[in-house]
Amino acid sequence: MSQWIRRSTRLAVYLRDGLVCVYCGADGRHGGAVLVVDHLVPRVLGGGNDPGNLATACWTCNARRRAVPLWEFVAGLDDAEAIRRRVRNARRRALPRQEARELDQDPPDWLVALRERSDAGRRPDPLEPPSEAFHLWPVAAP
Ligand SMILES: [Zn+2]
């Protein structure tokens, strides 16, 4: 089974979720957040790449969560109930695959910028203080 999620599928997940992190609301277009696809059930716990198991997360929340089970991660966040609602809504919606394919072929400026930030070499520097996303939804240290 392939571990790779193709680029247009990742973009479709972002579009379905409004291009914001389902956990903290960081915006991938205007706020400069680096978006990644998060596995709701982590792969190490048996989660797959089906759209119902994928959600948009910012790099900071994704790094913060690691492979912590979703219920446990969300329970530690300030606005847990709103986050549960966002995740449930995201899982119910279909992936806008066609829209993603079209944008992928002719990317607007915001998508080009998002991709550039998402490149591995441009991820947040781990030696720098965490971004504002940490401060919006502080969670207890593990
Ligand atoms: Zn986030």
Residue 124 CA to ligand 1 center (angstroms) comes to 13
Quick one: average pLDDT of 62-82?
A: 90
Residue 4 CA to ligand 1 center (angstroms) comes to 22
Rounded distance between C-alpha atoms, residue 83 and residue 24, angstroms: 8
Residue 38 CA to ligand 1 center (angstroms) comes to 10
- Whether the pLDDT of residue 45 is over 90: the answer is no
Q: Which of 54, 62, 60 is nearest to 6 (CA)?
A: 54
Residue 122 CA to ligand 1 center (angstroms) comes to 17
Residue 60 CA to ligand 1 center (angstroms) comes to 6
Q: Which of 78, 75, 73, 32 is nearest to 55 (CA)?
A: 73
Residue 76 CA to ligand 1 center (angstroms) comes to 14
Structure tokens at 65: 């969560």
Sketch the domain layout of the chain as residue ranges: 7-136
Q: How many helices (H) and strands (E) does the chain have?
A: 7, 2
Helix (H, G, I), strand (E, B) or coil at 2: coil
Please tell me the total number of residues recorded for the chain in this structure: 142
Tens of pLDDT, residues 87-136: 999 999 999 999 999 999 999 998 988 887 776 444 555 665 544 333 33
pLDDT, residue 141, reads: 33
pLDDT class of 63 with cuts at 50, 70, 90: confident
- Whether the pLDDT of residue 60 is over 60: the answer is yes
